[in-house]
Structure 1
Amino acid sequence: MGTSKRLADHYDMRSQHQAILTAARSGPLQSLTDRELALREQPITIYPQPYRPVRAWVRFGPEAIHVDAKLARSTPTAAGIEFRAGDTTFRCWVWGNAVSADDDVHRV
């Protein structure tokens, strides 16, 4: 007997949400600083909804985790992303090379 792809996606999402919430106990979500973003020197693009689905590396305190996220804004070197876990929406800036386009992300 096979399993449903939709059900498998649901369990993957729940597992990722649990991993995010566990990582969040390690420390605060880290984001690039204003100095690193250099928004006065670099153009910023703000994307209208729907946001593009991406996979991104984020860091809670010392713990890094790979998450399904939405690209909300970008500069030539950084990406502003958001992702959810449970009832919490997390937002942060990460370096552009920490993000990859994922056309197969349906769970964000």
Structure 2
Amino acid sequence: MGNPGSTLSAYRDMQSQARSILEAAKHGPLQSLSDRELPLRDHPLTIYPHALQRRVRAWVRFGPEAVRVDAKVVRSTPLAAGVEFRAEEKTFRCWVWSNAVALADDELS
């Protein structure tokens, strides 16, 4: 059934992250790698089916404001990751450099 304290803590963390994302979004639009930085025609692109999407922690940027988010990798190239994350009812998607992404802690076990 799980630990109720752990579940409450995870919920509070999720709410805190959503507030951080929405606050950062006030500083500008979500940044994504440009077509020039991400030449999809020149590099292989992997699109992951839902069952293979990995949970990660990723650094994203809204205008000048950087925030680390819990996300999932939905696509990738050898140098970049297409990530998706949520805050409240809003879903965000962007491309970031692969080194801005790390496996979520529970994925390491």
> Percent sequence identity over matched residues?
63
Q: What 5-or-longer segments of structure 1 have no aligned partner?
A: none
Aligned pairs (5 A) from 1:14-53? 14-50=15-51, 51-53=53-55
The reply to whether residue 64 of structure 1 matches residue 66 of structure 2 is yes
TM-score (norm 2): 0.91
Name the CA distance, whole Å, in 2 between partners of 1:65 and 1:71: 17
Q: CA deviation at 1:98?
A: 0.2
Secondary structure of 1:34's partner?
coil
CA distance in 1, matches of 2:106, 2:86: 17
Whole-angstrom distance in 2 between the partners of 1:31 and 1:45: 17
1:104 shift after superposition: 1.9
How many matched pairs? 104
Per the TM alignment, residue 102 of structure 1 is displaced from its structure 2 partner at its CA by 1.2
Moved over 6 A (4+): none
Q: 1:52: how far off? A: 0.7
Superposition CA RMSD, Å: 1.5
Instruction: Give me the whole-angstrom Cα distance separating, in 2, the residues matched to 1:71 and 1:41.
Output: 20
Deviates more, 1:94-103 or 1:62-71: 94-103
Q: Structure 1: how far apart are the matches of 2:55 and 2:30?
A: 20
Q: Aligned match of 1:74 in 68, 73, 76?
A: 76
Unaligned runs of 5+ in 2: none
For residues 57-104 of structure 1, the C-alpha deviation after alignment (integer angstroms, 9 at most, x for no partner) is 000000000000010000000000000001100000000000011142
Instruction: Give the Cα–Cα distance (whole angstroms) in 1 for the partners of residues 48 and 88 of structure 2.
Output: 24
Paired position in structure 2 for 1:7: 8
